[in-house]
Amino acid sequence: MQIVAADIGGTHARFALAEIAGAARPKLGAMRKYRTREYKGIGAAWAQFARECGPLPRAAAIAVAAPIEGDTLTFMNSDWRIDRHGLAAELGVDRMTLLNDFGAVAHAVSIMPPEELVPLCGPGDLPAEGVVSVIGPGTGLGVAILDRRRGIEVIETEAAHVGFCPLDADEETVARSVAERYGRASVERVVSGPGLIDIYRALGGEGEWDATNAGALWEAAIEGRDSLAVRALALLVRSFGAAAGDIALAHGAMGVAITGSLAGRIAHLLRGPDFAARFTAKGRYRERMMRTPARLVTYAEPGLLGAAIAFQREFG
């Protein structure tokens, strides 16, 4: 059967048609991506997808960057709101799976072969029968748990909103600046796309930066065109390593899957010594963390694939 798979983030809404046949891995068609700020809500973006693709199937898997709770789903990094109980009628579908975006990513990781998981640090493959933390920076920072101890269970979390713990003088400066600006310094405020702007600003960077033009600062940092941006990105990578290790310990995980296009862009830095040093620097648990593999997901659209897998698992 054919369904619509959607991955609705803070910056972009992604859609694709997905073919589901029995227990086989779903096959995705061409992905269409729309900027959320250019549409009033999911219904408008859905209608644009329909205009481009023709009549849509009456079944959908919708992954959203929001907690799945209450009558109205509220995005932390977007003005969109979703009427949870009226969504199926709004989109004109009869069967629908609705889940958190990183819950969807965890579903995708559950079927990833080793060749789609590039080593960052630690030995071996992700545990086939244990707990894996699934983490990825984007407009925010997504975190989910994949538990394969008794079948497959995905637990959606908001772990990105735990407090940011500075570990050096520059990070203390960043923590103070972020707390002054937002009232609190969380991990997501630092380890995310917009987080690079706040780090850069805290370290003395100038310019009119906001989440809508964060990409230019990321390019300057990755390409080495701005020395302070390079320094800010190095701090973000260190903080990412520390946070990923902390999250893995909190989850009881023996493996970590890192996902997202931002992570892919800085894969060379995530494979470097700073990420691994912070990931494993857990005191009495250092030896455990040295045995915990961190792997980078190379599949381009794990949110869309995972949404389709979640539908497949719910409806068979």
Burial (CB count within 10 angstroms: exposed 0-12, middle 13-18, buried 19+), residue 173: middle
DSSP code for 159? G
The predicted structure's pLDDT at residue 20: 97
DSSP code for 127? P
DSSP code for 204? T
Mean predicted confidence (pLDDT) in 13-41: 96
Neighbouring CB atoms inside 10 A of 231's CB total 17
Annotate 174-200 with b (16+ C-beta within 10 A) or e (fewer).
bbebbeeeeeebbbbbbbbbbbbbbbb
**What's this model's pTM, rounded to 2 decimal places?**
0.95
Please give the domain boundaries of the chain with CATH numbers for all domains.
Answer: 2-99 (3.30.420.40), 118-297 (3.40.367.20)
- Give the confidence band of 121 by pLDDT, cuts at 50, 70, 90: very high
**What amino acid is encoded at 37 in this protein?**
R
Q: What whole-number distance in Å separates Cα of residue 35 and Cα of residue 52?
A: 15
The predicted structure's pLDDT at residue 210: 78
Mean predicted confidence (pLDDT) in 298-316: 96
Is residue 246 within 8 A of residue 190, CB to CB? The reply is no
- Give the confidence band of 262 by pLDDT, cuts at 50, 70, 90: very high
Q: What whole-number distance in Å separates Cα of residue 16 and Cα of residue 96?
A: 15
Chain-centroid distance of CA 214 in Å reads: 17
Q: What whole-number distance in Å separates Cα of residue 101 and Cα of residue 107?
A: 10
Q: What whole-number distance in Å separates Cα of residue 101 and Cα of residue 32?
A: 17
The predicted structure's pLDDT at residue 63: 98
Burial (CB count within 10 angstroms: exposed 0-12, middle 13-18, buried 19+), residue 36: buried
The string of pLDDT tens digits covering residues 215-243 is: 999 999 999 999 999 999 999 999 999 99
The predicted structure's pLDDT at residue 207: 85
Mean predicted confidence (pLDDT) in 140-150: 96
| pLDDT for 269 beyond 80 | yes
In 3D space, the residue among 40, 38, 30 whose CA is nearest the CA of residue 4 turns out to be 30
